[in-house]
Chain A
């Protein structure tokens, strides 16, 4: 037993080293795993042979070793019978460390926590979901991760062997093809029939999830495989060789460089580009080399918001538009309104007809059929298939080679004009932020400015999307580090915000970062139990409620429909507002054990509330500040 433990420690040491390298380089060695034989029958005092009913080496132990070999730090789960074997191995055999099990109150929370974690840490955790019911609960969050191109591993508990199902409950919770419900929006799934099969599929799943375009994967863990003693011999964990992301074709990059260097008004548009901090640095280098403006779609932290080239690109004036990992190029070059969608107007093309449109994206290498997240056909002049971030170094080099001293002077003149435009944009933002400064409900600009005043000297990370906050943090704060912003849900599935923020805060915790989450009220009400998860697992974070007391976008939509029909717009609030009673989020937080402050309605009370909340966060706890806000 002692030698077996020593062997496992050595194994785990190797796994940890491998995990550190996982994002950059292949893990060197496969692992041979020793397993105990199935126990022989025992003999009682009376000499009778009896079957041994204990099992000190269930299959789940080996499954866990496979998971550990991949450097998985956390497992999120709503506890379930179909994952009970793996659950027990995790907390006892694995010591509840790497992965540490996090208790979740809903599978949607489990998966979305992984989504948020991966966007900060750059690698997946696992979620254990329970058969048919847990998979259906988690499906929405899986879809969000898929649309957002974020890696995540779903371990799907299922009793595959019908003869092993012990009750009607297990029949209703089992499926013949358990991953079928999520197959349209996962990159890959498998249903291993043996432990060796599980090992190979888990390693393959990790590799597929982490290959751009990244995405969620699912592995079915049969209950029988988890719980029965290990009978297979010579089990081994295969070597993980990470796929090197593909770069765009060299000839195409050379042609693109010529276009960009000679363009008078190039615009760079960044979608889900910066997978890593290096992606942000590279985009800055490209933009500065060309003195070209960058329009960041804020799906990732692609470009520093205070950079003079940030946000000042004019699609309408552009002669060359470079779209880097942009999902919906049509919407980048056209303008539509909600009314247009119901046939009351033509989409308006923003880009010039003769503007050259070039895309670099790994999405051209992977598309599915049923779910329509791929948007309209990308009508571009050159579609370069390859990972945007991986392609940037060669593009930068090609551009630099082409820039003559004369051209450099011209580019610098353009850069100076863009810097001036950026300055004006900033001034305009401040002017707009001052409007309604003392209003109640609070303006989202006021709350953002109050927050910034108190966090700007901290090592902060905004983990909530600010799209529904009129992007005031983006407009007022200085975002210049990759972990300071993680974009939105991807699939626009409401309910992502709170759990993804907790997952991101979990990833930030080990770095000691101050996590800020601007939390939409409608979103929190999908599965608020994640507040308890944050408290229980001591995940510090400052939650600021964007409590506009409604599903505000729908308020606007229904009002629009009413006016279009020449009917009463005042009824747009029916079915869309969260009033009568107002929800008291500070009290809700307290119910889950989280300190709650508010509701705050007077602008003068915002700063003291944030000050108090920051003290709580710095003591290692999460906190909720309920600010009653304007719609956007």
Chain B
């Protein structure tokens, strides 16, 4: 079962690289809209900081890996978003949005988290 998913992830990884190339950036503003519209925020938080779902931002994983995971998430994890639901271009925009999210203050600089 694991091998099956690894194969799929690898296939998608290569196809995504081919589709976007190394310099693909995406439109962060549009990505933000899609992130909210398609319910990504509901599990990952409005700023991708995590919640029920994993922390996505800041510093998201590489775009190709991100898109590959959304297409074929780990069993028992998040729901699959196929290309019929979100195109690769839209996912690239979402990734760009996640990449645009600034770092939160460091834990050491938040007195409330050092009580």
Do residues B76 and A631 form an inter-chain contact, with CB atoms below 8 A?
A: no
CB pair A337 B77 closer than 8 Å: yes
Chain A residue contacts of B84, Cβ below 8 A: 566
Stretch at the interface among A70-78, A104-112, A210-218, A428-436: A428-436
For residue B79, CB closer than 8 A to chain A, the reply is yes
Q: Are B51 and A632 in contact (CB under 8 A)?
A: yes
CB proximity to B under 8 Å, residues A186-212? none
**CB of A475 to closest CB in B, whole Å:** 11
The answer to whether the Cβ of B39 comes within 8 Å of any Cβ in the partner chain is yes
Q: Say whether B47 faces chain A, with CB atoms less than 8 Å apart.
A: yes
Instruction: Give the shortest distance, in Å, between B109 (CB) and chain A (any CB).
Output: 9
Contact (Cβ within 8 A) A439 B49: yes
Which residue of B39, B55, B75, B105 contacts A572 across the interface (Cβ within 8 Å)? B39
Which residue of chain B is the closest to A429 with respect to CB atoms?
A: B113
Q: Which of A337, A434, A566, A568 contacts B106 (CB 8 A)?
A: A434
- Category for how many chain B residues contact A: 20 to 34
With A and B bound together, what is the CA distance between A566 and B41 in angstroms? Answer: 19
Query: Given A345-B75, A437-B110, A449-B113, are A556 and B43 neighbors across the interface (CB < 8 Å)?
Result: yes
- State whether B85 touches A568 (Cβ < 8 A): yes
A478 to chain B, nearest CB (A): 9
The smallest beta-carbon distance between B81 and chain A, in angstroms, is 5
Nearest chain A CB to B53's CB is how many angstroms away? 9
A435 touching B50 in the complex, CB below 8 Å, given contacts A563-B79, A569-B85: yes
Q: Which of B41, B46, B51, B107 contacts A470 (CB 8 A)?
A: B51
Given contacts A430-B113, A453-B115, A566-B84, contact A436 B49 (CB under 8 A): yes
Give 1 or 0 for each of B25-58: 1 = CB within 8 Å of chain A CB: 0000000000001110111011101111001000
Using Cβ atoms and an 8 Å threshold, which residues of chain B touch A438?
Answer: 104-105
Q: How far is the CA of A337 from the CA of B112 in the complex (A)?
A: 34
A563-B80 contact given A434-B113, A556-B52, A570-B38, CB 8 Å threshold: yes
B82 close to A (CB within 8 Å): yes
Interface presence of A336 (CB below 8 A): yes
Which residues of B are found within 8 Å of A439, using beta-carbon distances? 45-47, 49
Chain A residues positioned under 8 Å from B81 (CB to CB) = 563, 569
What are 16 sample pairs from A and B whose C-beta atoms fall under 8 A apart?
A337-B77, A431-B107, A433-B107, A433-B113, A435-B50, A436-B46, A437-B105, A449-B113, A470-B52, A556-B43, A569-B81, A572-B42, A630-B46, A631-B41, A631-B45, A631-B51
Which residues of B are interface residues toward A (Cβ below 8 A)? 37-39, 41-43, 45-47, 49-52, 55, 75-77, 79-82, 84-85, 104-107, 110, 112-115
Q: Top 7 nearest A-B pairs by Cβ distance?
A: A436-B49, A435-B49, A559-B39, A337-B76, A449-B112, A560-B79, A632-B51
Binding site for B on A (CB under 8 A): 335-337, 339-340, 345, 348, 430-439, 441, 443-444, 449-450, 452-453, 456, 470, 476, 552, 555-556, 559-560, 562-564, 566-570, 572-573, 630-632
